[in-house]
Structure 1
Amino acid sequence: MDVSYIDSYSYSRLLGPQFPSPSLPGGFPGSPGGFPGSPGGQQAPTAPPPAFIPQQQTATPFAVDPGAISLCLFRNTYIWLRNGASFWYFPTFVGPRSVAGFRWNGRFWTIFGIDTRRIVSFTCF
């Protein structure tokens, strides 16, 4: 799978104790400041996503518009990627070309960020 992401284990292992968190406004995912732009930090959802996989809507030929996916903030969202992967996601931050939040791995939520150019389509509930 060519999807790049940083889970909480990899993040702390990569940076080590000498770098507790990058100095971004609002902190970094997993740090006390939470995600950039989220008031008071954002915790992972406490419940699993829905038990079904929605039918994929019409795919978009270009990158997903950040304005469109921002309507799914803090909602269970199903995402389909250009490489064929798909998964439940809980977005908590949308930037100009990326989305950050939590990805369901089948057992629990993990921190995950992705470039919107890798997303083919999405639907939120």
Structure 2
Amino acid sequence: MYYPPYYPYYINDYRIHGAPPVPPFPPQGSFPIPDLGNLFPGFPGGQSSPPGFSGGGSDQGPPSGPPPSYTPQLQQQTVSTFAVDAGSMRRCLHRFTYVWLENGRGFWFYPTFVGRTSVAGYRWRNFRWVFYGTDTNRIRSFQCT
């Protein structure tokens, strides 16, 4: 034989019967909010990133103007197993860089971060800078100005 479970408190018409009364909510401003301003101090030496971080750049935002008006020519190079080494792109941080992807598309790019296998920054699209990131294995070639 089945016996339904016993619940000392049950809901009926949105009221809980048999439960202790709920105290009224305290008035606004009665709870002091602590000052958390110096709870999380910056990194030593005023750095904006942890010590020893070698990610390659900080995000300072997009450039203030448009990229150069010309399009560089893609240099024919020998075939390699890997398209682009991420370390080689570090020299292009915060510089106008023209990027050719493996799918044949090319665009102006302003890199602000270079990681081990990815790059991020701003891509010139529709006459404005748009944040963009990609894996370095999608990049066929690039050229800094």
TM-score for the superposition, normalised by structure 1:
0.66
Provide the identity percentage. 51
- 1:1-125 maps to which residues of 2 (within 5 A)? 37-38=57-58, 41-59=59-77, 61=80, 62-125=82-145
Name the residue aligned to 1:12: none
Deviation readout 1:78-106 (Å, 9 max, x if unpaired): 00000011000000000000000000014
Q: Gapped runs of 5+ residues in structure 2?
A: 1-47, 50-54
The Cα RMSD (Å) is 2.0
User: What SS does the aligned partner of 1:70 have?
Assistant: helix
Matching residue's letter, 1:45: P
Deviation readout 1:3-58 (Å, 9 max, x if unpaired): xxxxxxxxxxxxxxxxxxxxxx96xxxxxxxx9851xx411110100000001123
Deviation readout 1:47-77 (Å, 9 max, x if unpaired): 1000000011234532311111111000000
User: What SS does the aligned partner of 2:89 have?
Assistant: helix
Name the residue aligned to 2:13: none
Name the residue aligned to 1:8: none
Matching residue's letter, 2:132: F
Work out which structure has the larger RCO, using CA pairs closer than 8 Å and 6 or more positions apart in sequence. Answer: 1
Q: Which has the higher helix share?
A: 1
User: What SS does the aligned partner of 1:96 have?
Assistant: coil
Aligned equivalents of 1:93, 1:108: Cα separation in 2: 19
Aligned length: 91
* Deviating 4+ runs (over 2 angstroms): 58-61
Query: Is contact 1:58–1:121 with CA below 8 Å preserved after alignment?
Result: no
Query: Is contact 2:83–2:141 with CA below 8 Å preserved after alignment?
Result: no
Which stretch of the first structure deviates more once superposed, 50-59 or 69-78?
50-59
TM-score for the superposition, normalised by structure 2:
0.58
Cα 1:37–1:123, aligned 2, differ >3 Å: closer, same or farther? closer
